[in-house]
Amino acid sequence: MWPSRLFHFRKAAIPRRDGTTRRRLAMKKLEECDPLARFLAESADVSEDVMSSVARCFCPDVRIGLASNQRCPEEALERMGSSYTWEVRALVAAHRNTDQATLRRLATDPVIAVRVAAAANPNTPPSALEPLADDRSVKVRAALAGNKAAPLRTMQRLATDRCACVRAALAANSGITGGVLVTLQNDEDIEVSAIANDPARRCA
């Protein structure tokens, strides 16, 4: 049976005081989450129903462990996609089981690391990937360039990106063909063109 002590942070367990005190006490409870929850989050032998229950715990360590579990179900990932902890959101954005609606939302997250994860995830909807080609962060654009599922139009834009590291990441993407590949093979940057012209240096 799922241990009820994991949910000690419920409102009923917090004394009725002013809002600031209530929030402080709530956070203290969250930081004291049962170690068993962390174990269950990281275990490979826990059922999806239990993992979905674990996702209700707001403790960052628990959620990080759960989001790192490759068997984490879609329901739990959707719940954690709105976590106040960016590390949790980044793991959700990178997870193979995350639903497209959640990935679409995380692709616009204010934290760069979260957008990087969403940009690199082949399950992120094409409509959410396209705007990332103009992202202000080079890291996001480079992650997108390495995504084989990126739309052709997006790859064409990245092929002329102002940063050579983005074009290099695209050149290493074995998913590019045709005009995009030709453009990179003739790139003014020696390293970019070298990668594009050498099949052995392109990711399988």
Q: What would the pLDDT profile of 72-119 be if each residue is shown by its tens digit? A: 999 999 999 999 999 999 999 999 999 999 999 999 999 999 999 999
> Residue 48: its pLDDT value, please?
87
More confident residue, 204 or 107: 107
61, 33 Cβ separation under 8 angstroms: yes
> Residue 204: its pLDDT value, please?
52
> Which domain range does residue 29 map to?
18-97
In which element (H, E) is residue 102 found?
helix 100-106
> Residue 16: its pLDDT value, please?
43
pTM of the model: 0.80
- Which of 85, 131, 139 has the alpha carbon at shortest distance from 104? 131
Q: For the chain, what is the domain count?
A: 1
Q: Is residue 42 situated within a structural domain?
A: yes
The band of 9, judged by pLDDT with boundaries at 50, 70 and 90, is very low
161, 154 Cβ separation under 8 angstroms: no
CA 86, CA 111: separation in Å to the nearest integer? 7
> Residue 200: its pLDDT value, please?
75
The band of 184, judged by pLDDT with boundaries at 50, 70 and 90, is very high
- Which of 44, 105, 49 has the alpha carbon at shortest distance from 73? 49
Q: Is residue 120 situated within a structural domain?
A: no
> Residue 8: its pLDDT value, please?
38
User: Taking 80 as the threshold, does the pLDDT of residue 197 lie above it?
Assistant: yes
User: Taking 70 as the threshold, does the pLDDT of residue 138 lie above it?
Assistant: yes
**Mean pLDDT, residues 162-176 taken together:** 95
- Which of 82, 73, 11, 69 has the alpha carbon at shortest distance from 37? 69
- Which of 27, 183, 69 has the alpha carbon at shortest distance from 54? 69
Q: Is residue 142 situated within a structural domain?
A: no
Q: Give 4: exposed, middle or buried? Use CB within 10 Å, 0-12, 13-18, 19+.
A: exposed
CA 186, CA 203: separation in Å to the nearest integer? 19
The band of 177, judged by pLDDT with boundaries at 50, 70 and 90, is confident
More confident residue, 18 or 167: 167
Q: Alpha carbon of 39 to those of 43, 130, 198: distances in Å?
A: 6, 38, 45
125, 101 Cβ separation under 8 angstroms: no
CA 141, CA 204: separation in Å to the nearest integer? 20
> Residue 27: its pLDDT value, please?
45
More confident residue, 57 or 153: 153
CA 38, CA 109: separation in Å to the nearest integer? 26
Q: Is residue 91 situated within a structural domain?
A: yes
Q: Is residue 102 situated within a structural domain?
A: no
Within the chain, what is the greatest distance between any pair of CA atoms? 68
> Residue 12: its pLDDT value, please?
36
Average confidence score pLDDT of the chain? 84
